[in-house]
Amino acid sequence: MNVSMQKFLCRERASGRLMTAACFAGIAALLMLRGTAFAAGEQQRVLSIGGAVTEIVFALGEEDRLVGRDTTSSYPPEAEDLPDVGYMRALAPEGVLSIRPDLILAREGSGPPEAIEVLKAASVEFVEVPDSFSAEGIGEAIRVVAETLDATEKGDALRAAIASDFERLATMTSSIDRRKRVLFILSTQGGRILASGTGTAADGILKLAGADNAITQFEGYKQLTDEAIISANPDVILMMDRGGNHGGDDDAVFSQPGLKPTEAAKNRAIIRMDGLYLLGFGPRTANAALDLAEALYGDELH
């Protein structure tokens, strides 16, 4: 099958999973035949997938090697000048490989699984960067990226600097007398509150900031009933600042029936922060956690 025919088949509407699988398999076969099409040159061509991964590459001073990024990679601003291969959880192999990378650094959890299988089977080095919502997890992600880019010394220096930031954060939050209960709301679409339980980036950043997640009955993100919100009785609402208050302005948020009786609503206590900064778990996370802690506790930290 020639390249033109393969591209045609992949553009055609697939009738179920079988056709999708066949399309991915065909791409993989073509790449196997091409063999050395993506052989590394003197300057390695790196594609970063995942906002934190891209931030790490920039923090290491290795950004000149980047030839592309995914949609979540919006920081630093210079990253947005790079070609965008799409959302990290909805990648298309053809789009990824069209920029001719010879190394793909992908955040753990990138997908879909079929696309990742094709990319791993291609003549391109594919490295998964671990995703863990802790200070230790950030250090491990930096180590993996730095070693892959042959920038170990830079990685050691960056990890040391970030460890120092986290030590300062821990010292400041140790003065907190009463930890606040915080409800992280992902969305209020359709009048239903989608909130974070445990095991999420939101849960991780709350712990670092010296706060308690108001919801611990489940893992991941789920819609809450009014009764569950009233029972949780958060002191503060935390949301992503999406620009234009797409998550609803403060009045709209606090008008939700489940929130009205809560301490957060009584005090109109709501914090909004940039999503990647707040939940990215990359080089800026210690600062993000400190900003969140200061917003929650103010002078109590000093």
220, two tokens: 């991941």
Mean pLDDT, the chain, integer: 87
> pLDDT tens digits, residue range 166-206?
999 999 999 899 999 999 999 998 889 999 999 999 999 99
Domains 39-161 and 181-301 share a fold: yes
pLDDT at residue 237 above 50?
yes
Q: pTM of the prediction?
A: 0.84
Neighbouring residues of 92: CB distance < 8 A, sequence distance ≥ 6: 85, 86, 115
The predicted pLDDT at position 243 comes to 62
The predicted pLDDT at position 24 comes to 46
Burial class (CB in 10 A: 0-12, 13-18, 19+), 138: buried
Architecture of domain 181-301: 3-Layer(aba) Sandwich (3.40)
Find where tokens 């995942």 sit.
Answer: 50
Tell me the pLDDT band of 242, cut-offs 50, 70 and 90. Answer: confident
Domain 39-161 adopts which CATH fold? Rossmann fold (3.40.50)
> pLDDT tens digits, residue range 40-70?
344 589 999 999 999 999 999 999 999 999 9
Q: 245 vs 195, which has greater pLDDT?
A: 195
**Domain-by-domain residue ranges, the chain?**
39-161, 181-301
Number of helices followed by number of strands (H, E) in the chain: 13, 10
pLDDT at residue 247 above 60?
no
> pLDDT tens digits, residue range 103-159?
999 999 999 999 999 999 998 999 999 999 999 999 999 999 999 999 999 999 999
pLDDT at residue 34 above 70?
no
pLDDT at residue 38 above 70?
no
Q: Three-class SS string for 80-93?
A: HHCCECCCCCCCCH
